[in-house]
Amino acid sequence: MTKPLLRSLAGETLPVPPIWMMRQAGRYLPEYKATRAEAGDFLSLCYNPDLATEVTLQPIRRFGFDAAILFADILLVPQALGADLWFVTGEGPRLSTVTSRADFDRLKPAADVHETLAPVYQTVRNLAGALPPEVALIGFAGAPWTVATYMIAGQGTPDQGPAHALKAEDRATFEALIDRLTEATIEYLSAQIEAGAEVVKLFDSWAGSLRGEDFARYAVAPAKAIVAALKARHPDVPVVTFPREAGEGYIGFHAATGADCVAVDDSVDAEWVADHVQPAGCVQGNLASRHMVSGGEALVSEVRRIRDALSGGPHIFNLGHGITPDADPGNVALMIETLREAS
């Protein structure tokens, strides 16, 4: 196994950790903006295998990352289940809502998502044949709780309030939606693996708004079910989980879910992660995204600090969340150069 990312995911501690970056194909790159303009709109880009392949490859060509992550969106799954999905320029996604049993009953079965998502699988096949031999290919999906928050509210919300309200007021419908999304996510990620993804990642961007028993039931349990099903079908494919802003919930997340790697956000210190999370397995993270905007000596020192703090175990270097559109590509290059410098 020669790809550095796969070596780290297998539990190996490398002298220089592999690096990729959440949202590495995106709006901070001029070449991405040009391709997006060619596609016409965001969803057309996601569903055009040739153009989605191109934008996935752009940061690999420019920066030499150790992994490429499929260009897609977490809300393609609800669309494949029958929800209406569109994007409002400058504001983000909008969906038809699921707030009642009648709304839920209009959704398609999980096994029926593949027709809509077939272009995504073609993008994976394209990438599997186009990437340099040392670069790993990551597939991904949104975790059920995070995707459900968008489906219930019809858009992103600051506190996921509508989802918490449905959970309190109509638990049966809420749990039916979580279960449907869990099944659909298994189908979607399994198909990505069959198309050529070597690793898959589960993004639970809003896990931090779940507390106590809710965190166990709606962040941990769905991740455990998805990991178990994928391992049964594809035992050699590693799974990365990202319960963002889980705080103390990061402790034990490897064991509780069966994940090969737990990604951590930048609200926790790398030194804390080394003590409390990394002993259980590979960790990924966790440079604050703001350093991709501001750069300078603060960026250099933070990269070195995180690298050194997590050097005692398997580590994949990444941001604590996605890179932002106002980031400077020169700072991305500086991050990689600093990480790979002779220590």
Type of residue at 42? F
- In the structure encoding, which two tokens stand for residue 288, read together? 């604050």
- One-letter amino acid at 26 equals G
At 121, list the tokens. Answer: 């699988």
- The range of the structural domain enclosing residue 91 comes to 4-339
Rounded CA-CA distance 301/292 in Å is 13
Q: How far is Cα 178 from Cα 77, in angstroms, rounded to an integer?
A: 13
Q: In the annotation, is 150 catalytic?
A: yes
Q: In 138-269, where does DSSP find H-type helix?
A: 144-153, 161-169, 171-195, 213-215, 221-233, 253-257
Helix (H) or strand (E) holding 203: strand 199-204
Q: Which of 23, 180, 244, 307 is catalytic?
A: 23
Asked if residue 20 lies in contact with residue 138, where contact means CB atoms within 8 angstroms, the answer is: yes
Q: Is 290 a catalytic residue?
A: no
Which DSSP string corresponds to 136-159?
A: EEEEEEE-HHHHHHHHHHSS--SS
> Is residue 119 a contact partner of residue 70, using CB atoms and an 8 Å limit?
no
Structure tokens at 68: 């490429």
- Residue for token pair 């707030």: 99
Residue from 173, 15, 188, 17 nearest 99 by CA: 173
Per-residue model confidence as pLDDT tens for the chain (343 residues) = 589 999 999 999 999 999 999 999 999 999 999 999 999 999 999 999 999 999 999 999 999 999 999 999 999 999 999 999 999 988 999 999 999 999 999 999 999 999 999 999 999 999 999 999 999 999 999 999 999 999 999 999 999 999 999 999 999 999 999 999 999 999 999 999 999 999 999 999 999 999 999 999 999 999 999 999 999 999 999 999 999 999 999 999 999 999 999 999 999 999 999 999 999 999 999 999 999 999 999 999 999 999 999 999 999 999 999 999 999 999 999 999 999 997 5
* Count of domains forming the chain: 1
Contact 43, 87 (CB under 8 A): yes
What CATH number is attached to the domain comprising 320?
A: 3.20.20.210
| Terminal C-alpha separation, the chain | 24
Q: Which of 73, 112, 179, 269 is catalytic?
A: 73
Residue 62 annotated to the active site: no
The CA-based dihedral angle spanning residues 207, 210, 213, 217, taken in that order and rounded to the nearest 10 degrees: -50
User: In the annotation, is 23 catalytic?
Assistant: yes
Per-residue confidence (pLDDT) for residue 89, from 0 to 100: 85
What are the backbone angles phi and psi of residue 283, rounded to the nearest 5°? -120, 155
Q: Which of 32, 121, 150, 250 is catalytic?
A: 150
Residues 7, 28, 32, 36: which is the catalytic one?
Answer: 36
Residues paired with 88 in a beta bridge:
92
Q: CB–CB of 233/174 below 8 Å?
A: no
